[in-house]
Every structure is written in C-alpha cells, then in structure tokens.
Amino acid sequence: MLKVEHVYWLIGAFLLIAAGMNVRQRRWSMAAFWFVLSGAFLLGDLVQLATAAGVRWPAQAMGLGVVALGLLAASGTMQTKTAGEEERRESASRLGNRLFAPALAIPLVTLAIVLGAPYLRWGEASLIDGAHLTLASLGLACLVALAFALRTTRSTLPQSLAEGRRLLDTLGCVALLPMLLATLGSVFAATGVGDAIAALVEMLIPTDSRLACLAAFAFGMVLFTVIMGNAFAAFPVMMAGIGLPLLVLRHGAEPAALGAIGMLTGYCGTLLTPMAANFNIVPAVLLELSDQYGVIRAQIPTALALLAVNLALMWFLVFR
C-alpha cells in the first residue's frame, strides 16, 4: 500500500541527495540546511513514536534542528545558483510549450488517482492509503510527471536530480515557508486565538449589527491570510472567533454560503502578502524579477475588487 509516509521518505531522500551535491561543491551552509531538513521527513515517524513512549530527546533534537534552520536562513550564506541566460533561452526554444505538459500532468494524474482509488485494489486491500488519499496521490502524480518530463526533455535521472537540486538551491529557505504556514492555523486554533478574537471583536464593534459582524469576518479573513499566507490557516481561526458565534448562531447566517464565500474572501489576502511565498515570492525568484514584490504589486487592484464583490455576495446570500 502506498502511504503518505512513503512520499515523505522520498522527499527526504532527495533532500539528502541535494545536501550531498552541495557538499561536493563546498557549499556548506546550503548542504547543512537540506541535511537538517531531510531529518524531519525521514525520521518524523520515529520521533513521534519516541515521544508517545515518553522519550523526549528525539523531539528536543528536532527542535534544535528547527533553530539551526532559522540560523542558517538568517546567516546570509545560502547563496543561490541559477542557470545561465544563454542556457535557459536555448532550452526554452528547443522545448517550447511542451514544457507545460509534465506540470499539467501533476493535477490531472492526481485527480485521476483520487477518483479511481476505490478501484485500485489488490484483492481486499487498497493500493493507496485512504486516510491520506490526496497527498499520496499527489506524490505518485509527481513521479509520473517526472517520468513524463524525462521523456519530453530526453534527460536522464541524474540530470533531473541535479536540476532539481539547482532549483531547490535557487529557492533556498523560501521553499520551507509553505510547510511552516500549513501548521500555523492549527497552532493558532489550539492556543485559543479564536476565542481571543471573539472577545476582542465584542469589545470593538456593535455585535448586534449584521453588517458590522460580516465586515469584521471578511476583513479578518483577509488580515489573517496576510499574516499566515494561507486562507486555509486563517479560516478555522476566524470561523471560531466570528463566523460561528456571531454570524451563524446570533444572526442566523447560512453556514455553507458563509464558509464558501468567506474562504474566497481570504484568498484576497493571499494576493497581497509575501507570506504566500509559493504564489508571490517563488515566481519572482525563479523568473529573476528585478522587483521581488512585483507580483504582489500587480495583484493589488484584483485583490481589492474581489474583496468588494465578495462583501456584496455575502451580504445578499448569507442572510437569505
């Protein structure tokens, strides 16, 4: 059975390879960064088991590793390395739009595997872990896309690993940001941030007003998405603090409409923040734009227009 742990192990193995390649080139800080990060993917299950058994030092060692990652990222010694301009132009002119095929294969193959998972069985056993079906399917789709990319570019697996390492080095510590942000929403919810927001909102706005509560929810979704870089992380916090207690329970808002449009409203914040690194910073780095925040500046009018439209939609649809 393909489990999500197998995907993590594969990522950890690639990070180890990237660290080894950097060691050969004497890029010690970059090598140390990927080596430490690989431990989280390769040893995460063992750390969890040790913690459950009452052995605390593996988790403490992992915490020291996180501190080490922060120090390496802040040291300024993780220099990037990009391909030459002439090499990029030659490759682009040779391959053209065929380069998009492997990238498009990832979502298409993921969708096909998720939809076909009930039929992917060996006797009575499922071939893919149903508990983490989407993540396991995504990992398998990436392997299919890799094979497709090797065929399209007529490259070899060692070449693909070297280019993958170069791309990873180009991103540097930015590659880690989406993973950190993914945990932020659950951390905020577990620490009672939603309750604190509810108390703060009741102090600052007239909670008997539907419009005031709705505006607080919408702008709160945008603000927390700007802070966290991810509307999924902001959603549980804002629903716990404003959506459920004030809009749904007090003013009778329709939960489905509030959740759907509220999530879309949070994405307006995604367009405005460098914390959404995979959307706004990574493209600027890969395209070597002169303005690191050029993508965000171009998206500001769209974000504000969408916010106004979403506010109107919520007002007319949530309280029907």
Tokens of 138: 């995504």
**Average pLDDT value for the chain:** 85
Q: Do residue 92 and residue 75 come from a single domain? A: no
Q: Do residue 143 and residue 190 come from a single domain? A: no
Domain end position, chosen among 60, 79, 98: 79
Q: Do residue 2 and residue 123 come from a single domain? A: no
> Residue 202: its pLDDT value, please?
79
Residue 56 within any structural domain of the chain: yes
- pTM for the full model? 0.73
Q: Quick check: 4 pLDDT over 70?
A: yes
Q: Do residue 188 and residue 293 come from a single domain? A: yes
Q: Do residue 34 and residue 120 come from a single domain? A: no
Residue 166 within any structural domain of the chain: no
217 lies in which domain range? 178-317
> Residue 18: its pLDDT value, please?
93
Q: Do residue 183 and residue 311 come from a single domain? A: yes
Q: Do residue 64 and residue 93 come from a single domain? A: no
Tokens of 306: 């969408």
Q: Of 293, 300, 232, 241, nearest to 266 (Cα)? A: 232
Q: Quick check: 254 pLDDT over 70?
A: yes
Q: Do residue 313 and residue 182 come from a single domain? A: yes
> Residue 80: its pLDDT value, please?
60
Q: Which residue is it, tokens 């120090």?
A: 71
Q: Specify the range with the lowest mean pLDDT, choosing from 69-78, 144-153, 178-187.
A: 178-187
Domain end position, chosen among 122, 155, 188: 155
Residue 205 within any structural domain of the chain: yes
Residue 24 within any structural domain of the chain: yes
Residue 194 within any structural domain of the chain: yes
Q: Are 221 and 270 in contact (CB under 8 A)?
A: no
Tell me the pLDDT tens digit for each residue of 7-23. Answer: 999 999 999 999 999 99
The Cα-based distances of 73 to 38, 78, 122 in angstroms read 15, 7, 45
If residue 220 lies in a helix (H) or strand (E), which one and from where to where? helix 210-228
> Residue 79: its pLDDT value, please?
60
Domain end position, chosen among 79, 105, 136: 79
Q: Residue 231 is which amino acid?
A: A
> Residue 82: its pLDDT value, please?
55
The sign of the dihedral angle between the CA atoms of 231, 228, 63, 175 is positive
Q: Quick check: 83 pLDDT over 60?
A: no
Tell me the pLDDT tens digit for each residue of 20-39. Answer: 999 998 888 899 999 999 99
Residue 163 within any structural domain of the chain: no
Q: Do residue 17 and residue 56 come from a single domain? A: yes
Distance CA 226, CA 281 (A): 14
CA angle 313, 319, 320 (to 5 degrees): 95
Q: Do residue 72 and residue 107 come from a single domain? A: no
Q: Do residue 92 and residue 73 come from a single domain? A: no
> Residue 9: its pLDDT value, please?
93
* Alpha helices for 174-209 (secondary structure H): 177-190, 193-204
Going by pLDDT thresholds of 50, 70 and 90, the confidence category of residue 99 is confident
Residue 171 within any structural domain of the chain: no
Q: Residue 200 is which amino acid?
A: L
Which region, left, alpha or beta, applies to residue 129 given φ > 0 means left and ψ of -120 to 50 means alpha? beta
Distance CA 217, CA 243 (A): 7
Q: Of 28, 26, 34, nearest to 77 (Cα)? A: 28
Which residue would you say has higher pLDDT here, 84 or 40?
40
> Residue 85: its pLDDT value, please?
60
Q: How many domains does one find in the chain?
A: 3
Q: Do residue 11 and residue 51 come from a single domain? A: yes
Q: Specify the range with the lowest mean pLDDT, choosing from 36-50, 61-75, 168-182.
A: 168-182
Q: Quick check: 274 pLDDT over 90?
A: no
Residue 160 within any structural domain of the chain: no
CA angle 237, 243, 247 (to 5 degrees): 165
Q: Of 305, 273, 282, 201, nearest to 244 (Cα)? A: 201
Q: Of 16, 4, 2, 17, nearest to 160 (Cα)? A: 17
